[in-house]
Amino acid sequence: MLRLLIIWHLKYFDFHIPRQHLIKHYNMPVAPRGLITAESKCSAAEHGKSFLGIPRVSAHRLNFYDACVEELGKQYAAANLPLEITEKKAAEIFIELADRYDEVEVWVPDQPGTEEVDFLLELKNVLPAKVVFHQLPSNTLLQADELPMEVGKIPRTFSGFRKKVEKKGYHQYGFSRMQEVSDFLPTRFSPARQRVKQYIFEDQHIINYKYTRNGLGPGDYSSRFGKWLAAGAVSAAEIGAAILKYEKERKKNISTYWLLFELLWRDYFHFLHKKIGAQLFTPQGMKQQRSPGLVDSIEWRFTGSNVAMQIPAAHRKEAEELWGAFRSWALASNGMEFIDAMMLELYATGELSNRGRQCAASYLIHDLHVPWWWGAQWFEYLLTDYDVSSNWGNWAYIAGVGADSRPVRRFNITNQARKYDADHFYRDWVKEQKWSVPEDALPEEFPGEFV
């Protein structure tokens, strides 16, 4: 029987971890073929425009994905294995392969996104039975089968989730054993793993992480692992193992714990997304209630990122005013200098610190009273490290409709600026860059329909 083994890279641009999983699964050496298709960097839905009237994915993220694919090709070449890169759609490729092989085994990453799940289901329905799909482990610190609860019973708050996870102790989870593997964190052709080694072991910035993580602008105040995690270029489990290794060999303190804590937050949003599905994107969120940031009289609905908004004609004036406020926020022209600086950095670089994201989101939701999902979609468009579960989960959290026990989570932006940019270093740094957001970055007129 002629069998073909494929690793299909869908926003998962690493060879090392998938291959290790396949060796363990088949209990023998394997020689998989890598595959990049039209859907690898953007899902079918992401090739369209969002309800904001703009593309779903920015050039920043696409360029980063291109760089990841280039390094991925080198990883395959070093193992003397092929990586096929094509602009063809997956269905066409797999149908062609099914004509040439008796069995085609396709390994795909575990993705919680509703669009991604639906796409794979639709794909499987049009392919011959000889094309068999298998799921790679999720790019999370913990795997679903080792959680102290079923995914369907994930607590409604992070605190409840964390306490149950930590009761067992991190050393009892599978990721802790990765540090003992001889080729742990192979850095060849892997800028992601090079960054992990540099941040944790070489420069040891991890030792002060808890006290520096709220920084703004450039620098090593944070790990900056996010974009590689989102692209699957390094696994959360590897980073977690690196932290435990550092604690064992060098030092353990509140900062080393806090980086694990942040990885667990990312896990929480991943598994919560699996639990609540498309509810993550709805205006009422998992709480099924109106965001306290909204003060308009519009009955909001969200039917998909690619679906144009429909607003009753009687609310035209309200919708247009909200759109104007949203444009001023996104185009960095609302007059709040601290927020404008953040929006300039985001548009120009595709990056923004965690503190910046929280402040920008809070200001849009609770000061400008703009629908929170507009901001989530803007961030989805621009962020290089965009992760569907974390991005939408955090926005819902700040909007008061997500995994937060508090009814309102509003930041006083004046106090935030005073606390985190007292000397105006960040705002002055942004000014020096002479960045701007072009007027046509968003439609001037409200992009929805009045019905």
pLDDT at 26 over 90: yes
State pTM to two decimals.
0.96
Classify each residue of 81-102 as buried b or exposed e, where b means 16 or more C-beta atoms within 10 Å of its C-beta: bebeeeeeebbebbeebbeebe
pLDDT tens sequence across 71-97 = 999 999 999 999 999 999 999 999 999
Mean pLDDT of 384-413: 94
**What band does 113 get if pLDDT is binned at 50, 70 and 90?**
confident
pLDDT of residue 232: 97
Q: Specify the amino acid at residue 122.
A: E
pLDDT at 48 over 90: no
Helix axes 388-399, 372-382, angle to 10 degrees: 150
Distance between CA atoms of residues 409 and 406, nearest Å: 7
pLDDT at 409 over 90: no
Q: What angle do CA 95, 98, 133 make, to 5 degrees?
A: 85
Do residues 83 and 36 make contact, with C-beta atoms less than 8 angstroms apart?
yes
DSSP state of 278: G
Do residues 76 and 34 make contact, with C-beta atoms less than 8 angstroms apart?
yes
Mean pLDDT of 39-50: 90
pLDDT of residue 22: 97
Closest CA relative to residue 362, chosen from 427, 295, 292, 413: 413
Percent of the chain whose pLDDT exceeds 90: 94
Per the prediction, the chain carries an average pLDDT of: 96
Q: Which two tokens stand for residue 222?
A: 């944070």
Do residues 429 and 313 make contact, with C-beta atoms less than 8 angstroms apart?
no
pLDDT of residue 49: 93
Percent of the chain whose pLDDT exceeds 70: 100
pLDDT of residue 265: 98
pLDDT at 182 over 80: no
Mean pLDDT of 426-433: 98
Mean pLDDT of 125-138: 96
pLDDT tens sequence across 221-275 = 999 999 999 999 999 999 999 999 999 999 999 999 999 999 999 999 999 999 9
Closest CA relative to residue 23, chosen from 181, 258, 187: 181
Distance between CA atoms of residues 241 and 193, nearest Å: 12
Cα distances from 416 to residues 217, 333, 358, 419, in angstroms, run 15, 19, 10, 5
Q: Count of CB atoms within 10 A of residue 373's CB?
A: 24
What radius of gyration, in Å, describes the C-alpha atoms of the chain? Answer: 22
pLDDT of residue 367: 98
Distance between CA atoms of residues 237 and 248, nearest Å: 16
Side-chain-side CA neighbours of 14 within 13 Å: the count stands at 30
Do residues 234 and 225 make contact, with C-beta atoms less than 8 angstroms apart?
yes
Exposed / middle / buried, residue 440 (Cβ in 10 Å: 0-12, 13-18, 19+): exposed
Mean pLDDT of 343-349: 98
Distance between CA atoms of residues 65 and 76, nearest Å: 16
The answer for 37, left when phi > 0, alpha when psi is -120 to 50, beta otherwise, is: beta
Mean pLDDT of 108-129: 93
Mean pLDDT of 8-18: 96
| Per-residue 3-state assignment (H helix, E strand, C coil) for 190-238 | CHHHHHHHHHHHHCCHHHHHHHHCCCCCCCCCCCCCHHHHHCCCCCHHH
Of 180-189, 284-293, 334-343, which gets the smallest average pLDDT? 180-189
* Helix-then-strand count for the chain, H and E: 17, 7
* Helix%, strand%, coil% for the chain, nearest 5: 55, 5, 40
Locate all alpha helices (DSSP H) within 277-386, ordered by sequence. Answer: 316-330, 337-349, 354-362, 372-382
pLDDT of residue 404: 85
pLDDT at 361 over 90: yes
**What band does 28 get if pLDDT is binned at 50, 70 and 90?**
very high
Closest CA relative to residue 106, chosen from 94, 89, 115, 117: 94
